[in-house]
Chains A and B, each alone.
Chain A
Amino acid sequence: MRKQTKNNLITFSGTAVLCLLMAGLSTAGVLDNKTTGLLVPMGIYIILAISLNLTVGILGELSLGHAGFMCIGAYVSGAFSLIFQNTISPVWLRFALAVILGGIMAAVFGVLIGIPVLRLRGDYLAIVTLGFGEIMKSIANNVYLTMDKNGLHFGFTVPPTNVDEATKQELLKGPIGMAAPQDTNVWIVAVVLLICLAVLMLFIDSRSGRACMAVRDNYIAAQSVGINVTKYRLMAFTLSAAIAGVAGGLYSHSLSLLAAKKFDYNLSILILVFVVLGGLGSLRGSIIATIILYALPELFLRGAGNLRMLLYAIVLVFMMLWTNAPFFITLREKIGASKPVMKLKSVFRRDKSDKSTGGAA
């Protein structure tokens, strides 16, 4: 069997066992409430991390607007569920449609944003995606949607006025946010996570994934062998956006109240931290890093939120120096790669992207 196929199988089956075990334990009531409450957001963060890894690790472009795509998914699916709460009857169908729609809308925005923006590279792309995320947050933060017997009424920055007071239902409430039905549970997150993981693995281990990595490693050489750089950048970016949209859909259906300010730049950075620490290009690494960085501090450092962020920041800088600084590279060689602590490297490695991505000669 090929090495990559084997690796993928190990990662997938490991994740599957873990997911089903956790879901099973929480359904059986073995886990306490606190732990169970962690599982849904953790699963959602894992989905976000593996999808961002496609853009950052496989395509080699830094996107700082991942929260923006999540925001689109969350709002579109949440609004859909609220509108059709009483019209589409089996809950699972309505929820599935909502989440899929969220993913599709995020993908549509991925294409719309990607076409102009993916002509840029490196730092520019990073800052533009950051801007995009902020725009999405601002829009979501100012959208009002009210339903009455006459239908839907939109408002931007102010609530709609011509509403029938007797039958009105406020669905999206600007900065207050929205209260989508809480349909998400551990099992659904587990299944969606496994589907997303499988899609990403199969994509990466195919002609298209190879093309993306070729573009990452050297886009000029990729063009020279006939790879349409723009097409594959757009493809990876869109797939990544779509999966973030799906995660957003799960997220909005997991909270009693969701406000748009949650989808800020810090959320994008947090996901980036998971991806970077797990190792660029390694889905397994992203999963492990998310579990460690999200769950452990929640369980042991609760209340010390600031300390946790400080820790993330230090680890982030250290990780980059550890893998790239000449001093640490020599140090690692001196100690030798056999020591257990060095083994971490295989999980945390792989960031040798092309030095020319900055655009400067």
Chain B
Amino acid sequence: MSENANNTPVLELLELSIQFGGLHAVEGLNLKIKQGCLYGLIGPNGAGKTTVFNMITGVYKPTAGSVLLNGKNITGKSPVEINKAGIARTFQNIRLFKAMSVLDNVKAGLHNETKYTAIEGVLRLPRYFKEEKRVNEKARELLGVFGLEDDINSTAENLPYGKQRKLEIARALATDPKLLLLDEPAAGMNPNETAELMETIRFVRERFNMTILLIEHDMKLVSGICEELTVLNFGQELAQGETSAVLKDPKVITAYLGE
């Protein structure tokens, strides 16, 4: 299967597996995500979705298989290296830098983009001012995209829930990723907020030309925005393909209704 560079999938998982003790949490997962695609990973509780995210982002080391980012093998690298390689994520249970301001949350996301050393920082050498100014503007711009420009000085933990989700996405985007992983972005949201979130995700994809992989429970959200889906059940692929086709698959329906 020789593919030219443009067709190399942004993310490719090959026979990805992990065991905890004797339990096969994820087994032999294969998956390809094209550039610009909005891809959904769904499945009942405990199917291993977040575990897949944790393997992609280096939190867990897979016991077998590999993770390719733009054709480059990143399996088993540390979370920091994987972020630098171009994958950013959000978390199921929001993980903001709670006691820091909204602006500083995004600036922390711009950490590797901020190019001065600790010593330059302490001595306030010119590069400090130049870089801080640049990073500040960038962070404000990003927050503006998410409608958070009026909250930049609030402490992150004081934001309402919906805005916290947005801030987490903004922080992830600040690392300038090639692939964005969203772990149940609609968890705990009411239908209105979910609808707004769908808009945000679509917007992010357009605006940043982003490839997005998301885990979701909310079927409405999934069928509304995902182009392709993989359904996981007990750590194994149950179905894969275009959203409308997958959702009609009798196996999928049984797995969801009969859980």
Contact = CB atoms under 8 A, between A and B. Distances in A.
A and B bound? yes
Interface of A: 3, 199, 202-203, 206-211, 213-214, 216-218, 220-229, 235, 281, 350, 352-354
B79 A223 contact: yes
Given A211-B111, A214-B108, A227-B108, A220 B59 contact: yes
Given A207-B116, A213-B99, A222-B108, A227 B80 contact: yes
Chain B, interface size category, equals 35 or more
Interface of B: 57, 59, 78-80, 83-84, 88-89, 91, 95-100, 104, 107-109, 111-112, 114, 116, 118, 121-124, 128, 131, 153, 157, 171-172, 174-175
Given A206-B128, A217-B99, A227 B122 contact: no
23 contacts: A199-B122, A202-B121, A202-B123, A203-B118, A206-B128, A208-B121, A210-B107, A211-B108, A214-B97, A214-B100, A218-B98, A220-B79, A220-B95, A221-B95, A221-B96, A224-B95, A225-B83, A225-B108, A225-B109, A225-B175, A226-B83, A281-B99, A354-B98
Contact of B118 (A206, A225, A353): A206
B84 to A, nearest CB: 5
Contacts of B174: 225
B99 A353 contact: yes
By Cβ-Cβ distance, the 5 closest A-B pairs, closest first, are A206-B121, A226-B83, A217-B97, A221-B95, A223-B79
Given A226-B83, A353-B99, A235 B108 contact: no
A208 B95 CA distance: 20
Contacts of B91: 220-221, 224
Given A223-B79, A227-B80, A218 B111 contact: no
Contacts of B84: 226
Contacts of B98: 217-218, 352, 354
Given A214-B100, A214-B111, 14 more contacts: A199-B122, A207-B107, A207-B121, A217-B96, A217-B98, A218-B97, A221-B91, A221-B95, A223-B80, A224-B57, A224-B83, A225-B88, A225-B109, A350-B99
A54 B26 CA distance: 41
Given A207-B116, A207-B121, A221-B91, A228 B80 contact: yes
Nearest to B176: A226
| Residue among A208, A350, A353, A354 having the largest count of chain B Cβ atoms under 10 Å | A208
B100 A213 contact: yes
Contact of A202 (B83, B89, B107, B124): B124
A353 B97 CA distance: 9
| Residue among B83, B91, B98, B108 having the largest count of chain A Cβ atoms under 10 Å | B108
Given A213-B104, A235-B118, A224 B97 contact: no
A352 B99 contact: yes
Contacts of A224: 57, 79, 83, 88-89, 91, 95, 172
A166 B150 CA distance: 77
A225 B169 CA distance: 11
Contacts of A3: 153
B157 to A, nearest CB: 7
Nearest to A356: B95
A3 B174 CA distance: 23
Given A206-B128, A207-B116, A214-B108, A225 B171 contact: yes
Nearest to B100: A213
A225 B172 contact: yes
A218 B95 contact: yes
B157 A227 contact: no
Contact of A227 (B59, B100, B111, B131): B111
Given A217-B100, A225-B172, A352-B98, A210 B59 contact: no
Contacts of B107: 207, 210
B97 A202 contact: no
Given A223-B79, A226-B83, A226-B84, A208 B89 contact: no
Contacts of A220: 59, 79, 91, 95
B140 to A, nearest CB: 13
A324 B118 CA distance: 34
A203 B121 contact: yes
Contacts of B99: 213, 216-217, 281, 350, 352-353
A273 B124 CA distance: 32
Contact of B104 (A203, A210, A221, A227): A210
A217 B174 CA distance: 18
Contacts of B124: 202
A225 B104 CA distance: 13
Contacts of A352: 98-99, 157
| Residue among A221, A228, A229 having the largest count of chain B Cβ atoms under 10 Å | A221
A207 B104 contact: no
Contacts of B96: 217-218, 221
Contacts of B80: 223, 226-229
A210 B79 contact: no
